[in-house]
Amino acid sequence: MAHPTDLDIVNVTKRFGSHAAVDDVSFSVAPGEFFSILGPSGCGKTTLMRMIAGFEHPTSGDIRIRGKSMIGVPANKRPVNMVFQSLALFPMMSVGENVAYGLSCRGVSRAEAEARANRMLERVGLKGFGDRHVTALSGGQRQRVAIARCLVLEPTLVLLDEPLGALDLKLREHMKIELKQLQATFNTTFAYITHDQSEALVMSDRIAVMNQGRFEQVGSPRELYHSPATPFVASFVGETNRWQGEAAPASNGVVAMRLPSGAVLHGQGRAGQAASAFVRPEAVALAQDPSVLANLPNRFEGRVSAVLFDGAASSLLIDTAGFAEPVRAVLPQAGPLAGIEVGAPVHLGWTADAMKVFAA
Amino acid sequence: MSAKPAQRLTLFLLLAPAILWLGLLIVLPHVEILVLSFSERVAPRVYAFGFGNYLEFFTEPLYWRTFARTAAMSILVTAITLVLAFPIALYIARVAQGRLKAMLLLLCLLPFWVSELVRTLGWMILLRESGVIPYLLQAAGLAGRPVELLYNDGAVILGLVYGGLLFMIVPLANALESLEPAVVEAGFDLGGSRWTVLRRIVIPHAMPGIVAGCIIVFMLTVGNFATPVLLGGKNGLWFTEQIYAQFITRFNWPQGAAFGMLLLLLSSAIVWLGLRLTGQSLGTTLKQA
């Protein structure tokens, strides 16, 4: 009978001296899931991954793979394989030997290992590359060898430690899609760590946002983006406007927050004395005519201070009365506001639902 | 246009010390020895061209046996040095950090602050019948009477390995240091045992360093004179002693020159063979050394 989870992390803590790199973290990964751990560098995600791989040992807690505790099991006996940040291909071996290495470690005969390595190379689109030297491959090809080398062993879980970090932007975008497709075809459980929110959002089924050794929130990419549970998640995942002020509860779950300038904003969230409010740039509605925005609780007037053109990710910075810093909004590329220039006056507003307020 | 001759002169002047060094101290003496080795004494003070000195080598068993013994012992010494140096180099390169690393390298270097002669005499003090180790063996009840540990092959090998260790450790540690830690981890992660990782990843990576260290130690050992003479005594039977005897004791320079050329040929041939067997090129090996 199949175990309902591939990986269970139970109250794992790792201390280096008095510093807790991983602090009482628990989560489970279901079979076939693409699970990402997203966090800034130094948040403990690499330590967590190295504990799952078996290169570090937890100070307390348990790591279970398909229900079996991995405590005391050395790295070379775990049904887990890792794609390293540097890929760590074996430079002294050919592509085929790299892929066959794990099989021959398990005692598979040379001919059988070679045949299986070749079949695997074919599946990742590297047919006929077996005899090449690893240094003669492009970045994307090396990436695929590193993954093939793991998948050929049919592991329960593949760990990926920011493997796209070293690639240039274009290739990285391409590899994101390719990795996701590979994971879907092989139906292997992937645990992926990254500091790049776009990688995590695009590829993952579920994401854990990690900060200072703890999980801030675990959820689907949409949940994290639209309903962040903490101010850290709100500011780390995706672009956002952030304001500080004083909050007081208002009627029907709405919170009113007063900015230092005296301007009052209405949003959703918990009331506190000092508070932070977050609004996504795409939630900011723009109009030339103020009557269009009449039914929005937050309405302001401003003047465009900068146009940051970046294709689909373009944005506007709008100097707005009452705000210390310009408000960021998505650049309209169609409709009456398309082609808006620096200096143009504009009306802006957003709903109370679009603004998340947290106690600061 | 006028700059060109000046540039050439500068280049020539800069190269002159190196050319003089190579020419006067290495090439010229070897040419002289080569010429000398082909001269035979036909009458008192009369010399003629001939292969007699080389023929003498093959007809007198003492000579070629000493020659073969020197080659075999040197290979053995190189192998023992490699086996001893590898874990030390691995520790220095992969485990030790910062100050400890510098300290360990310094410790390897320390014995070389005194001359080879003094170091060898030190071993004699330890090993001779009335020396430290036989005394301790007797005191511990392991030997009934003082044992003579000097003047045998073991003592010669000990002394030569000791002298060669540093020259093996440095290129090995250099080679091992450049091995990316993640590559070793990947070796374990994919299911490799310690032995598999060592055999398939660490040793192949360190190969240029291994070959470089072996070449240096082998050359130093084959050409060593003081250690086999002092620690081996009459049983030392090192080929350099034969060369010394021909030049200094027998005053037969042409014979000594022929032996010298043979030793040069021997070490070159074994180095070449070693490079061929391990598939390394001299270029990459020299970079490691």
Across the 360 residues of chain A, what is the mean pLDDT of every consecutive 10-residue run? 84 91 93 93 91 94 92 92 92 93 93 93 89 89 92 93 84 87 90 91 93 93 92 90 85 82 86 85 90 89 91 89 90 85 91 87
A246 belongs to a structural domain = no
Given an 8 Å threshold on Cβ–Cβ distance, is B186 in contact with A76? Answer: no
pLDDT of B288 reads 63
Same domain assignment for residues A225 and A295: no
Nearest to A88 among B186, B200, B205 (CB): B186
Given an 8 Å threshold on Cβ–Cβ distance, is B188 in contact with A76? Answer: yes
pLDDT of B289 reads 58
Given an 8 Å threshold on Cβ–Cβ distance, is A86 in contact with B185? Answer: no
Same domain assignment for residues A229 and A269: no
All residues of chain B having their beta carbon less than 8 Å from the beta carbon of residue A166 are none
**Residues 202-261 of chain B whose Cβ lies under 8 A from any Cβ of chain A:** 204-205
Nearest to B191 among A53, A85, A102 (CB): A102
Same domain assignment for residues A347 and A211: no
Domain of A263? 254-359
Given an 8 Å threshold on Cβ–Cβ distance, is B190 in contact with A92? Answer: no
pLDDT of B44 reads 77
Given an 8 Å threshold on Cβ–Cβ distance, is B196 in contact with A105? Answer: yes
Last residue of a domain, one of A234, A268, A292: A234
A137 belongs to a structural domain = yes
Q: Distance, in angstroms, between A72 CA and closest chain B CA?
A: 15
How many domains, chain A?
2
pLDDT of A218 reads 95
Same domain assignment for residues A261 and A212: no
Given an 8 Å threshold on Cβ–Cβ distance, is B190 in contact with A101? Answer: yes
Q: How is domain B52-288 classified at the CATH fold level?
A: MetI-like fold (1.10.3720)
pLDDT of B3 reads 60
Same domain assignment for residues A32 and A78: yes
Low-confidence ranges of chain B (pLDDT < 50): 1
Q: Where are the domains of chain B?
A: 52-288
Exposure b/e, B54-63, CB count within 10 A at least 16 = b: bebbeeeeeb
Same domain assignment for residues A280 and A309: yes
Structural tokens at position A340: 């808006």
Residue of B nearest to A88 (CA): B183
Last residue of a domain, one of A175, A206, A234: A234
Residue with tokens 């887990």: A80
Q: Distance, in angstroms, between A201 CA and closest chain B CA?
A: 27
pLDDT of A26 reads 94
pLDDT of B46 reads 77
pLDDT of A148 reads 92
For the beta sheet containing A19-29, the strands, ordered from the edge strand earlier in sequence to the opposite edge, are A19-29, A7-16, A60-65, A68-69
A245 belongs to a structural domain = no
Same domain assignment for residues A265 and A214: no
Given an 8 Å threshold on Cβ–Cβ distance, is A105 in contact with B189? Answer: no
Whether the complex's predicted ipTM surpasses the cut of 0.85: no
